[in-house]
């Protein structure tokens, strides 16, 4: 097991904000840059001063390409695992997470996502289950065992018993239908001191209240968007944006005298890339970047906050090309053949330029590509070169002044 003892925080990160773009590879970030900042500009996430590259492979018995559960587990616990497992190692033993160790060291903790709060990435930071599909058990552990202070996102359907009414009105009725298997968890949360909020107005109210410590914010029955192919029911227009949830979470957590740990996930990047839906994949990238702006604005002028932006894996095998490029002259068929073989989306405009770009997809699944990591603040200098996803765990804890002992 791992010791969560805290060291004297001289020059250490009192606060850690980890932002994860689910499925966001280097090409996703560059496409977002072209669209909003142009060829010479930079997204907020790419203006952070320290840059590294993180490998994402799992140790699954059937494939080396990771799923989100194994990838998030590697980041959250420093242990590789099989696909589907949530904060359990490949032998099925629960592993302490960076959130839990931060909590043991006195930090307040928070999880924010545009997906279900109980989906793989947030689950890996605050729960331990053999398979990611057990979402109601994950919800139960959040409030009964881990006691995460701030929980904001979707997936409200898993917090209400199957067949019972809930406050959600998702675009499709089946998305809002209660699916819980672990009792009246929304009610349990309130009994255990959580303020339950289901609207932007409620969230703003609790964020501004000095008396509130724990918040459970559920803003949709499932994701805060509808995933599908472009023009086939796809929708990304949530009542509460990722940036707004991030700002509220920071406002609540910064009241802790000992600091805080916050994980923020934008999941539409992955979900829309699975559908090869380029417009809403890019919207996900830009929504994450707005949350990054919130985090960096909080960290600016301070010397006690580490901000990290990365991904769990890459989705879609995304590639970028110019929309008006001339045919490649050295191959039979030239540019026409290249275009016919690729599933392209676009063209999209390049900011402040008279031309555009297109994106091509290699798959509707995940890939084994490494993903960028950018960082600022105390300990960010360790983010450099190429490293394993399991290496982010000790990097974060050491930056926070928390000793990392032997793992079981």
Catalytic residues: 68
Integer CA distances (angstroms), 80 to 84, 216, 348, in order: 12, 30, 38
CA-based end-to-end distance of the chain: 5
Name the token pair of 43.
């997204």
Integer CA distances (angstroms), 290 to 21, 115, 204, 247, 284, in order: 12, 17, 18, 10, 10
Give the CA dihedral 267, 136, 90, 110, nearest 10 degrees. 50
309 close to 292: Cβ distance less than 8 angstroms: yes
Q: What is the DSSP letter of 145?
A: I
Strands 356-361 and 366-367: unpaired
Backbone φ/ψ region at 127: left (φ over 0), alpha (ψ -120 to 50), beta? beta
Name the token pair of 274.
């699975």
């Amino acid at each position: 097991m791992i010791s969560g003892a805290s060291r004297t925080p001289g020059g250490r990160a009192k606060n850690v904000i980890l932002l994860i773009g689910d499925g966001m590879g280097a090409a996703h970030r560059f496409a977002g840059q072209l669209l909003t900042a142009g060829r010479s500009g930079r997204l907020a996430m790419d203006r952070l001063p320290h840059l590294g590259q993180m490998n994402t492979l799992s140790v699954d018995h059937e494939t080396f390409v990771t799923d989100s559960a194994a990838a998030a587990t590697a980041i959250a616990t420093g242990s590789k695992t099989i696909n589907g497992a949530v904060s359990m190692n490949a032998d099925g033993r629960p592993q302490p997470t960076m959130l839990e160790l931060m909590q043991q060291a006195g930090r307040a903790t928070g999880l924010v996502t545009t997906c279900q709060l109980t989906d793989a990435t947030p689950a890996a930071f605050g729960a331990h289950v053999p398979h990611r599909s057990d979402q109601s058990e994950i919800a139960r552990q959040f409030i009964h065992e881990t006691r995460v202070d701030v929980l904001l996102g979707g997936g409200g359907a898993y917090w209400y018993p199957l067949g019972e009414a809930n406050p959600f009105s998702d675009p499709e009725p089946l998305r809002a239908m209660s699916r819980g298997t672990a009792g009246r968890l929304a009610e349990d949360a309130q009994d255990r001191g959580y303020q339950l909020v289901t609207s932007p107005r409620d969230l703003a109210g609790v964020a501004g209240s000095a008396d509130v410590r724990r918040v459970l914010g559920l803003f949709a029955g499932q994701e805060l968007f509808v995933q599908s192919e472009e023009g086939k029911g796809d929708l990304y227009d949530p009542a509460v944006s990722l940036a707004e949830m991030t700002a509220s979470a920071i406002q609540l957590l910064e009241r802790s005298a000992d600091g805080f740990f916050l994980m923020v996930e934008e999941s539409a990047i992955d979900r829309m890339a699975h559908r090869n839906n380029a417009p809403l994949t890019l919207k996900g990238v830009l929504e994450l970047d707005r949350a990054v702006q919130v985090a960096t604005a909080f960290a600016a002028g301070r010397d006690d906050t580490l901000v990290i932006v990365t991904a769990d894996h890459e989705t879609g095998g995304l590639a970028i090309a110019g929309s008006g490029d001339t045919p490649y002259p050295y191959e039979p068929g030239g540019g026409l053949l290249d275009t016919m073989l690729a599933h392209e989306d676009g063209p999209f405009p390049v900011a402040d330029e008279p031309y555009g770009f297109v994106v091509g997809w290699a798959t509707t699944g995940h890939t084994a590509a490494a993903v960028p990591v950018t960082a600022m603040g105390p300990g960010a200098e360790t983010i450099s070169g190429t490293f394993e996803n399991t290496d982010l765990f000790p990097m974060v804890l050491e930056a926070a002044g928390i000793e990392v002992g032997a793992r079981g």
